[in-house]
Amino acid sequence: MMTGYLLGRAGVDALVLEKHSDFNRDFRGDTIHPSTLDLMYELGLLGEFLKLPHQQVPALAGIFNGHTARIADFWRLPTQCKFIAFMPQWDFLNFFAAEARKFPSFSLQMEHEVTDLIFDGERVTGVRVRTPSGSAEIFADLIIGADGRHAITHARAGFETKDIGVPIDALWMHISKRPGDPKQLFGFFRHGKLLVLIDRDDYFQAGFVIPKGDIEFIKQQGLPYLHEQIVALAPFLKDRISELDDWSKIKLLTVQINRLRKWYREGLLCIGDSAHAMSPAGGVGINLALQDAVATANLLAAKLQIGPVSLADLQQIQKRREWPTRVIQAMQAFIHRHVVTGRESKSSDSLPLIVRLLQWFPSLRALPARFVGMGPRPEHLSAFIRNAGIR
Ligand SMILES: Cc1cc2nc3c(=O)[nH]c(=O)nc-3n(C[C@H](O)[C@H](O)[C@H](O)COP(=O)(O)OP(=O)(O)OC[C@H]3O[C@@H](n4cnc5c(N)ncnc54)[C@H](O)[C@@H]3O)c2cc1C
């Protein structure tokens, strides 16, 4: 959506295909990062955007083995907005869709599921699409695969994936809120277990991290066992945990970290999770995907106005974005090992060493804030795209 918006703004004919009929899904996380808010500012959209209901979180805290600890201070960042905005991702996407539709060269087709790529020799020239009125073929100078972790684009292109082992999966569910609940307390860590609660105003979107592949074991133990595990982390949920009275209310999200060895071939570029699936650790995947979108538009928009782009142009995108991806994925693997499931987190009732360091030296909390809030190579709009929107 972001790539489509930026290309549409630059006057490039851009068509976004979305397989669902709306954006109302739970599984993607709700974080709008300071670097994304900077982009909104550069686009002149920040004021309007912040009118949408959201929560501003200037610092992240966790409860580690019963001790509350601050781990990231966004108010230390050199950005326009010194907070993470929590907003359901469907509001964010609907906002961009509405803004993008103001550009005559942008269009969005919902309920258009890409089912295959179309090739002319080695070159990708289009996509096959399933629509409510039947199947169709759509041809384009460039197909951008931004279709997430289970992307059909990278599968059909035959791209090779490098998997980075992930020791966790996540159970994803709604738990109701009550007056007096703690405010936006994000993570509860205890002895290698983690519960994340995202405040969605009238309910919590809850993520409970389990060892990879343990879902069958947990199901065998039964729902009361799961309730007990969750309440052990967040005792204030005891009075309502029985709401989770059926496994259909609990979704299993298999967590992956991987990246493509090559993100492109003639006529096709993969970005976002399609090029590099991200774990929820650190809540950085959305930011990374958006930064890919900006780099893509910055490097390709002027060229796409004229026609197809070359392999060398596409290689530039991977070159620019692969390094931040590697850094973030290495950090996520580190978080899995040392904070979530690591030996240290299982072995004592005290704070993990990294978290203790962040308490002893508060200025260090700018580092996780930078990592989560901005990422290693925050992108800014090229003058070409920024000025293109001024009408
Ligand atoms: C449990 C969990 C929680 C997470 N929480 C966070 C968080 O709090 N913060 C954070 O920053 N990151 C989080 N992440 C990571 C984040 O969700 C991803 O990194 C991010 O959404 C990637 O964005 P994307 O646009 O590349 O892909 P997606 O957000 O997956 O978007 C892909 C889009 O393509 C559509 N699509 C898919 N296939 C097709 C097709 N064949 N045809 C047409 N349309 C198609 C999908 O419907 C979807 O709209 C989490 C991940 C998981 C698994």
Task: Report pLDDT digits (tens) over 158-182.
Answer: 999 999 988 889 999 999 999 888 8
Q: How far is the CA of 197 from the centre of ligand 1 (A)?
A: 19
- Give the sign of the dihedral formed by CA 150, CA 151, CA 157, CA 162: negative
Over residues 383-390, the mean pLDDT reads 83
Between strands 106-109 and 14-17, the pairing is parallel
- Give residue 348's pLDDT: 60
DSSP H or E run through 71: strand 67-73
Helices (H), the chain: 2-9, 34-43, 46-49, 89-100, 152-156, 215-221, 223-233, 285-306, 311-335, 343-347, 353-360, 366-373, 383-388
- Give the sign of the dihedral formed by CA 23, CA 24, CA 27, CA 29: positive
Q: How far is the CA of 277 from the centre of ligand 1 (A)?
A: 9
Quick one: which atom of ligand 1 is closest to the CA of 129? 42
Cβ neighbourhood burial of 145 (10 Å; 0-12, 13-18, 19+): buried
Percent of the chain residues topping a pLDDT of 70: 95
For atom 5 of ligand 1, the residue with the nearest CA is 29
Residues 299, 301, 306, 308, Cα dihedral to 10°: 60
Q: How far is the CA of 297 from the centre of ligand 1 (A)?
A: 19
- Give residue 346's pLDDT: 52
- Give residue 339's pLDDT: 62
- Which one-letter DSSP state was computed for residue 275? T
Rg (CA), the chain: 21
Does the beta carbon of 33 sit less than 6 angstroms from any atom of ligand 1?
Answer: no
Q: What number of other Cβ atoms are within 10 A of residue 120's Cβ?
A: 11
Residue of 377, 367, 181, 186 lying closest to 280 (CA atoms): 186
Q: How far is the CA of 107 from the centre of ligand 1 (A)?
A: 20
Q: How far is the CA of 148 from the centre of ligand 1 (A)?
A: 5
Return the amino acid letter for 106.
F
Confidence of residue 1 (pLDDT cuts 50, 70, 90): very high
Over residues 232-236, the mean pLDDT reads 92
First to last CA, the chain: 21
Listing from the earlier edge strand, what are the strands of the sheet with 203-211? Answer: 67-73, 59-64, 187-190, 193-199, 203-211, 168-176, 251-254
Over residues 217-244, the mean pLDDT reads 95
Report the distance separating Cα 96 and Cα 4, nearest Å.
9
- Is the model's pLDDT at 347 over the cut of 80? no
- Is the model's pLDDT at 391 over the cut of 80? no
Q: Global pTM?
A: 0.92
- Do 240 and 176 meet the contact criterion of CB atoms below 8 Å apart? yes
DSSP H or E run through 60: strand 59-64
Percent of the chain residues topping a pLDDT of 90: 70
- CB neighbour list of residue 252: distance below 8 Å, 6 or more residues apart: 169, 170, 171, 172, 215
Residue of 178, 175, 254 lying closest to 213 (CA atoms): 254
- CB neighbour list of residue 122: distance below 8 Å, 6 or more residues apart: 265, 266
Q: Which two tokens stand for residue 324?
A: 């931040």
Quick one: which atom of ligand 1 is closest to the CA of 152? 41
Does the beta carbon of 294 sit less than 6 angstroms from any atom of ligand 1?
Answer: no
Q: What number of other Cβ atoms are within 10 A of residue 361's Cβ?
A: 10
